[in-house]
Amino acid sequence: MKTQLDQETKDKLKKRAREVRERAYVPYSHFPVGAAVLTASGKIFTGVNIENASYPLSICAERSAIFQAITAGEREIIALAVTADTARPVSPCGACRQVMNEFNPKMDVMMLNLTGDELRRTAGELLPEHFSSGDLEQS
């Protein structure tokens, strides 16, 4: 399993997140977000935010990308890049943080904006004490 990301892989992930952002479906917020994930097997999957006239049914770019990877049979996600046109690096919502932690609390999360700012945290740092499978066990 790959633990350290080399510069080339990081750059590729960021580029894919930026490129896929163009495909966001955002007729309500007009706030396109793009995400790309790198799996343990070395594959990259991308996702965008997809909104709905019934607003709560919308999905964020991060979960969209993670679900693409899981659907393809992947189970471990090493890194995630997410980008939007924000003043500070875009900050994933709580639901996405919970989903990131399901698949790897050590996931390397790169939060970006279009001006080149970057903030890097692990999924665990983004959501300490997340609810996990162990919490489903009865006492």
- Among positions 13-72, residues that touch ligand THU (CB under 6 A) are 26, 29, 31, 33, 49, 51, 58, 60-62
C-alpha distance from residue 27 to each of 30, 67, 92, 113, 134 (Å): 6, 22, 20, 21, 39
Under the criterion CB under 6 A, does residue 97 sit at the interface with ligand THU? no
Nearest Cα to 110, choosing from 29, 38, 19? Answer: 38
Least Cβ distance, residue 80 to ligand THU (angstroms) = 10
Under the criterion CB under 6 A, does residue 82 sit at the interface with ligand THU? yes
Q: What do you get for the CA distance between the two ends of the chain, in Å?
A: 34
Under the criterion CB under 6 A, does residue 132 sit at the interface with ligand THU? no
Under the criterion CB under 6 A, does residue 126 sit at the interface with ligand THU? no
Residues acting as catalytic residues? 62
